[in-house]
Amino acid sequence: MSASAEGDGARTVVVGGGLAGTTAALALADLGARVTLVEARPRLGGLAFSFRRDSPAGQLTVDNGQHVYLRCCTAYRGFLRRVGATTLAPLQRRLDVPVLDAGRGRVGRIRRNGLPAPLHLAASLARYPHLSPGERAAAARATLALRHLDPADPALDGQDFAGWLRARGQSERAIAALWDLIGVATLNARAGGVSLALAAMVFRTGLLTAPGAADLGIPRVPLGELHHTHARAALDRSGVTTLLATKARALRRAEGGGWLVDVAARGERRALAADSVVFAVPHDAAHGLLPAGALDEQDRLLGIGTAPILNVHVVYDRRVMRAPFLAALGSPVQWIFDRTGPAGLVGAPGSPPGQYLALSQSAADDEIDRPAGALRERYLPELARLLPGAAGARVRDFFVTRERTATFAPVPGVGRLRPGTRTRLPGVYLAGAWTATGWPATMEGAVRSGLAAARAVAGVAAGSHRGAGAHATARSHGTDGGESV
């Protein structure tokens, strides 16, 4: 096995090409570092990716799962700007979410006006038809009570969100029709399985800061175009060496200082020499790669659980849903998104293309291993109940995608298990949505972790090499109050 060393300047190896690793690599390259990015898959993007499917409806570009972001996700918005993709994932002008009660067939809306927070949601909540007048008033009081919680308070980490809600007069219907409607999609768990600290962070940031904080951003192109194609082009322009289909096997100390990252690709093994290493991989993979003693109580990483997300994909021969997306109550269906355009669905000459709907099913522990046939029997009748046009439409394709370890589980107590960016080993750092970002497992949390890792590397380099390139300013990664290097 040979060790590769390129010149005498500072070298960083980033292991993992998801959003955390790509962000760290770009930020460090902007600071003048020489960066090698290693990714085991043949693509970038981590768990927010696309693939091609030869469907009976034609060739489709399929996202493994539906991903959205909020206006308050300033770091992720900075990532989109950095890779030149802002216009490809536009934000709503103002928050507007249609919510359909399957039992009553009635649509309500969660929307905002232009008033300051929290008044921006008051009119919408006052008219929300899925709660009684008393439940609406109680929900308003609970929302205001969230303002007094500090998500950084360690005491909140051990409490569950549902207990806090019930103590403030929230009925089970209110929890399902309002709090879980938002919380399941953002936290990937129902209120009873969510740390109060994480719930407070999500609801305070999204609902109680700026009026537009919760406006939704939805990609109008496949995720792979954002997180692989545009990201790879940005990496190449920045001089980052990107090694795809290359798996990191081990980390060991190099003679004379620094580190060697053993990697394997196409049956060949070699070692990459580095002054610093960022592990931007899942927490269990990080545990396997870190040398013993890298963290205090290192096995705590294995105590971080995971939560699945199931995605159901249905292609109809006609348009069955008018809205670009829809949330559902009283149904196993949670959220429905129209992905006809991004998937590239086209009809025969002179015929309409039909419609491609993607159902995003979070906290899907009970269904993640169900056979596709059983899921078809469960969800097609539900879609026909929610969307009358679907009852008479022909299904051209039905398939599912499963992410069994989509996110870390946001259970009470998870905060004490999440490590910071720095390890006890000089020059070795961590990144990933599972690290101690203060955010749940979101694209925003992943990007923030990458920025934090780049700051840590750059800070050490600046202290060791005064006047070196580490003093340069990173470009446009965090704006609007977001994190920056």
The 10s digit of each residue's pLDDT in 301-354 is 999 999 999 999 999 999 999 999 999 999 999 999 999 999 999 876 777 789
| Residue reference for tokens 């870390």 | 408
| Residue reference for tokens 């390259």 | 29
Q: What is the pLDDT of residue 1?
A: 38
Ranges in the chain, pLDDT < 50: 1-8, 465-485
In the three-class reduction of DSSP (H, G, I as helix; E, B as strand; rest coil), residue 258 is classed as coil
Mean pLDDT of the chain: 92
Specify the DSSP class assigned to residue 288: H
Q: What is the pLDDT of residue 461?
A: 61
Q: What is the pLDDT of residue 6?
A: 37
| pLDDT tens column, 143-190 | 999 999 999 999 999 999 999 999 999 999 999 999 999 999 999 999
Specify the DSSP class assigned to residue 87: G
Mention every residue, 6+ apart, whose C-beta is less than 8 A from residue 140. 122, 125
| Residue reference for tokens 């899921």 | 375
* Pairing between β-strand 276-279 and β-strand 325-329 as defined by DSSP bridges: unpaired
Mention every residue, 6+ apart, whose C-beta is less than 8 A from residue 407. 188, 306, 307, 309, 433, 440, 441
Its sign, for the CA torsion 179, 182, 186, 189, is positive
* Pairing between β-strand 241-243 and β-strand 34-38 as defined by DSSP bridges: parallel
Mention every residue, 6+ apart, whose C-beta is less than 8 A from residue 287. 298, 299, 301, 302
Residue 99, CB-side half-sphere exposure with 13 Å CA sphere: 23
**How buried is 425 (Cβ within 10 angstroms: 0-12 exposed, 13-18 middle, 19+ buried)?**
middle
What tokens does 229 get? Answer: 């194609």
- Angstrom distance (rounded) from CA 180 to CA 165: 11
Q: What is the pLDDT of residue 462?
A: 62
CA 367 to chain centre: 21
Q: What is the pLDDT of residue 170?
A: 98
Cα dist from 405 to 45, 236, 364, 368, whole Å:
15, 30, 11, 10
Is there a cis peptide before residue 118, judged by omega within 30 degrees of 0? yes
Which candidate, 158, 17, 13, 24, places its Cα nearest to that of 477? Answer: 24
- Angstrom distance (rounded) from CA 16 to CA 412: 28
Q: What is the pLDDT of residue 352?
A: 79
| pLDDT tens column, 389-431 | 999 999 999 999 999 999 999 999 999 999 999 999 999 999 9
Q: What is the pLDDT of residue 347?
A: 74
Q: What is the pLDDT of residue 473?
A: 34
Q: What is the pLDDT of residue 139?
A: 96
Q: What is the pLDDT of residue 5?
A: 37
Q: What is the pLDDT of residue 349?
A: 72
Cα dist from 218 to 77, 88, 95, 223, 427, whole Å:
12, 9, 12, 10, 37
Q: What is the pLDDT of residue 479?
A: 34
What tokens does 114 get? Answer: 């232009």
